[in-house]
Chain A
Amino acid sequence: GEDVEQSLFLSVREGDSSVINCTYTDSSSTYLYWYKQEPGAGLQLLTYIFSNMDMKQDQRLTVLLNKKDKHLSLRIADTQTGDSAIYFCAEINDYGQNFVFGPGTRLSVLP
Chain B
Amino acid sequence: GAGVSQTPSNKVTEKGKYVELRCDPISGHTALYWYRQSLGQGPEFLIYFQGTGAADDSGLPNDRFFAVRPEGSVSTLKIQRTERGDSAVYLCASSLFPDGGELFFGEGSRLTVL
The reply on B4 being an interface residue by CB < 8 A is yes
Q: B-contacting residues of A (Cβ < 8 Å)?
A: 4, 8, 30-31, 35, 40-45, 48, 88, 92, 95-104
Of the four ranges (under 10, 10 to 19, 20 to 34, 35 or more), the interface on chain B belongs to 20 to 34
Residue of A nearest to B97 (CB): A96
10 contacts across the A-B interface (CB closer than 8 A):
A4-B42, A31-B100, A42-B4, A48-B102, A95-B56, A96-B99, A98-B45, A98-B56, A101-B42, A104-B40
A13 CB, min distance to chain B CBs, angstroms: 25
A103 and B100 within 8 A (CB): no
Which residues 76-107 of B have a CB within 8 angstroms of A?
Answer: 91, 93, 98-100, 102-107
Q: Is the interface of B mostly helix, strand, loop or mixed?
A: loop
From A40, A42, A97, A100, contact of B91 by CB (8 A): A42
Q: A-contacting residues of B (Cβ < 8 Å)?
A: 4, 33, 35, 40-45, 48, 50, 55-56, 58-59, 91, 93, 98-100, 102-108
Q: A45-B104, A101-B35, A101-B42 are in contact. List 14 more A-B contacts (CB 8 A).
A: A35-B103, A42-B91, A43-B43, A43-B91, A43-B103, A44-B105, A92-B100, A96-B98, A96-B100, A97-B48, A97-B98, A97-B99, A99-B45, A104-B42
